[in-house]
């Protein structure tokens, strides 16, 4: 069965200024690489719908959601900063609603057996967005909106969210810490932005802080020892991935030394887990990844393993 590839042209209209690294070209780098590698033929494209307020309010506070809806600038050349590195332009609100809506559609598609897996090529990313706060290029927490939708609309009891972005998924942890229907696993460079996660106490959080210069071998060993037994014991009915590729050795956003085979490996492990427990259901949502060539190659590898035979 081929893979659902969910995106939307609106996700290209969110821009945070000439010198910002979180740029629309990230999505072009992904689609260009998928065409060049021949992977394109294995994808079914879907337009991401806009998440409605009701869906956003499952994981965000009402006054925060209203602030984003009402602060969105209308003039095309205006930026409204909501955090030190996070700004809204005229296209941001729709892009952010599409990004969250993509995760919801991906879940609907896998839960109704239209596809076993989905990849959401969306921006802005989401995993730093907390219940009440935008930060780190994120507005709505896309993967959390998706998980809450799966719990509310598909009656699931156990969802795993695995976040292999190089930064701690502080927003996702903020939203789900203590909610034992969700097992949240985040690996990240530590100490590093945003500084959280190394001493989390919540029983449903399996954080994996790793030092700068962590390479593929060290990363795989840590995942094997900590996440995989925990995920197997949890027996998730659905696996969501916060898929950030900024731990790539070519990405100077951070200081991990991962390469495409490492992203392939972790994806294959998650796919195998999904085959054991979740009828192969995996929905992956793009987070970081700023070195354009490395991002395109890594996503292509990731998608190849999401499709792959178990
Ligand atoms: Zn990141």
* Structure tokens given for 177: 């810490």
Question: What residues contact residue 151 under an 8 Å CB cut-off, 6+ apart?
Answer: 159, 181, 182
* Ligand 1 centroid, distance to 170 Cα (angstroms): 11
310 pLDDT above the threshold of 70: no
Tell me if the pTM is above 0.75: yes
Task: Report the catalytic residues.
Answer: 128
Per-residue pLDDT, 308? 87
Q: Report d(CA 278, CA 260) in Å as an integer.
A: 25
Ligand 1 (single-atom ion) residues, CB below 5 Å: 165, 167, 244, 246, 288
Task: Tell me the per-residue pLDDT of 254-279, one tens digit each, with 9 for 90 and over.
Answer: 999 999 999 999 999 999 999 999 99
* Ligand 1 centroid, distance to 151 Cα (angstroms): 26
* Ligand 1 centroid, distance to 249 Cα (angstroms): 13
% of the chain beyond a pLDDT of 90 = 97
Q: Report d(CA 282, CA 290) in Å as an integer.
A: 24
* Ligand 1 centroid, distance to 229 Cα (angstroms): 25
Q: Report d(CA 285, CA 142) in Å as an integer.
A: 8
Task: Tell me the per-residue pLDDT of 20-71, one tens digit each, with 9 for 90 and over.
Answer: 999 999 999 999 999 999 999 999 999 999 999 999 999 999 999 999 999 9
């Amino acid at each position: 069965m081929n893979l659902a590839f969910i995106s939307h042209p609106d996700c290209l209209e969110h821009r945070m200024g000439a010198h910002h690294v979180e740029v629309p070209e990230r999505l072009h780098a992904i689609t260009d690489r998928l065409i060049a590698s021949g992977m394109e033929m294995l994808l079914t494209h879907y337009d991401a719908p806009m998440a409605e307020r009701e869906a956003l309010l499952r994981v965000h506070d009402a006054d925060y959601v209203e602030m984003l809806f009402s602060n969105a600038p209308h003039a095309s050349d205006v930026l409204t900063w909501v955090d030190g590195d996070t700004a809204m332009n005229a296209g941001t609100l729709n892009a952010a609603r599409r990004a969250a809506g993509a995760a919801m559609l991906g879940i609907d598609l896998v839960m109704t057996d239209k596809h076993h897996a989905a990849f959401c090529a969306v921006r802005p990313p989401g995993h730093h967005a907390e219940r009440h706060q935008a930060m780190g290029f994120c507005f709505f927490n896309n993967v959390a909106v998706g998980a809450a939708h799966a719990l509310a609309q598909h009656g699931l009891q156990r969802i795993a969210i695995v976040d292999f972005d190089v930064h701690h998924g502080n927003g996702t942890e903020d939203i789900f810490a203590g909610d034992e229907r969700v097992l949240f696993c985040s690996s990240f460079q530590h100490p590093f932005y945003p500084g959280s996660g190394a001493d989390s106490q919540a029983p449903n959080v399996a954080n994996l802080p790793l030092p700068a210069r962590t390479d593929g071998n060290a990363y795989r060993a840590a995942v094997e020892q900590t996440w995989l037994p925990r995920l197997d014991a949890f027996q998730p009915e659905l696996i969501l991935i916060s898929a950030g590729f900024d731990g790539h050795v070519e990405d100077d956003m951070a200081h991990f030394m991962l390469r495409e085979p490492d992203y392939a490996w972790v994806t294959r492990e998650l796919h195998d887990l999904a085959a054991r427990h979740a009828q192969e259901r995996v929905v992956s949502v793009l987070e970081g990844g700023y070195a354009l060539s490395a991002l395109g190659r890594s996503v292509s590898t990731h998608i190849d393993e999401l499709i792959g035979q178990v």
